[in-house]
């Protein structure tokens, strides 16, 4: 009997370019590939953004879609669970301070986004055009602004976790309410695909927990959706 494998996929940078739609050829391949498999999506984004990126057909036909780092769970298009996390005045003041001292001078608005179970923060702002998003991403890789904000936030708010997500933002949520919480629902062999699997990235908690619990698993750290596609084509599963 063939071993059952649970496939876990991040979205941004793994199935799609960051905040952009999935490639049509990959979309067609992936929609057919997920049939008769246990496939889970795990993303920091909300339902609406995820559907914009991967399409309604894929989103409704995976085994489960874990939105907001697993703080909102959807199955067959139906909401089955969610955990709220409201923005406090203290946290809002912290964000305003980070905006005022940021060395990145261009700001585009929508800096603080409240999602179910997490808050997304971006100094450049989520309204930035794609070319500015790319510029910030490369600048941040050198200057480590997001990493430094995460470190400072967790020092000031010990009950919270902060991690780098996508190209321009960080995800903030209560301790333990990260992507690794989905592993409470999933047993057996796990193949996990993500692009932010290093320490400090929002995919890392899954990797850390899988390794700590010595689960039967494989980790696929990818640099682009094209790499994900190439791996899936070679898996022969």
Token pair 């399409």 is found at 55
Q: Within 10 A of 81 (CB to CB), how many other CB atoms are there?
A: 14
Q: Give the up-direction half-sphere exposure of residue 91: CA atoms within 13 A in the CB hemisphere.
A: 25
The predicted structure's pLDDT at residue 18: 85
- Bridge partners (DSSP) of residue 162 are 172
**Residue 61 neighbours by CB under 8 Å, 6+ apart:** 31, 34, 35
CA distance linking residue 140 with residue 83, whole number of Å: 31
How would CATH label the architecture of 5-82+177-235? 3-Layer(aba) Sandwich (3.40)
Assess contact for 126 and 114: CB atoms under 8 A: no
- Cβ pair 163, 201 in contact under 8 A: yes
Tell me 4's DSSP state: P
Q: Which two tokens stand for residue 161?
A: 């976790």
pLDDT value of residue 2? 58
Report how far residue 159's alpha carbon sits from residue 171's, in angstroms, rounded to the nearest whole number.
14
Domain with CATH 3.30.1240.20 in the chain: 89-174
User: Looking at the annotation, which residues are catalytic?
Assistant: 10, 12
* pLDDT of 237: 77
Look up tokens 């309204």; give the residue.
127
The domain made up of 89-174 has a fold known as 3.30.1240
Question: Up-side HSE of residue 200: CA atoms within 13 Å toward CB?
Answer: 12
d(CA 142, CA 71): 31
Parts of the chain with a pLDDT under 70? 1-2
Residues 157, 91: contact at Cβ < 8 Å? yes
Q: At what angle do helices 130-143 and 145-156 cross, to 10 degrees?
A: 70
Residues 58, 40 contacting (CB under 8 angstroms): no
Chain centroid offset of residue 236 CA: 26
What is the pLDDT, as a whole number, of residue 165?
A: 85
Range list for CATH 3.40.50.1000 in the chain: 5-82+177-235
């Amino acid at each position: 009997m063939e071993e059952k494998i649970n496939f876990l996929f991040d979205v941004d940078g793994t199935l799609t370019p960051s905040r952009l739609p999935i490639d049509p050829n990959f979309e067609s391949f992936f929609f057919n590939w997920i049939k008769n498999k246990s496939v889970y999506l795990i993303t920091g984004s909300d339902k609406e953004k995820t559907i914009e990126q991967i399409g309604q057909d894929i989103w409704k036909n995976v085994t489960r879609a874990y939105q907001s780092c697993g703080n909102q769970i959807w199955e067959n298009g139906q909401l089955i669970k969610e955990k709220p996390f409201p923005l406090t005045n203290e946290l809002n003041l912290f964000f305003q301070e980070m905006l005022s001292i940021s060395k990145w001078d261009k700001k585009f608005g929508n800096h603080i986004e409240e999602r179910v179970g997490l808050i997304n923060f971006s100094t450049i702002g989520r309204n930035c055009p794609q070319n500015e998003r790319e510029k910030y991403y490369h600048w941040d890789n050198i200057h480590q602004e997001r990493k430094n904000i995460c470190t400072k936030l967790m020092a000031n708010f010990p009950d919270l976790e902060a991690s780098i997500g996508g190209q321009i933002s960080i995800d903030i949520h209560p301790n333990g309410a990260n992507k690794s919480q989905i592993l409470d629902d999933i047993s057996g062999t796990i193949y996990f695909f993500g692009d932010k699997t290093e320490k400090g990235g929002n995919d890392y908690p899954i990797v850390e927990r899988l390794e700590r619990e010595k689960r039967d698993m494989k980790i696929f750290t990818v640099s682009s959706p094209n790499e994900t596609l190439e791996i899936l084509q070679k898996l022969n599963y």
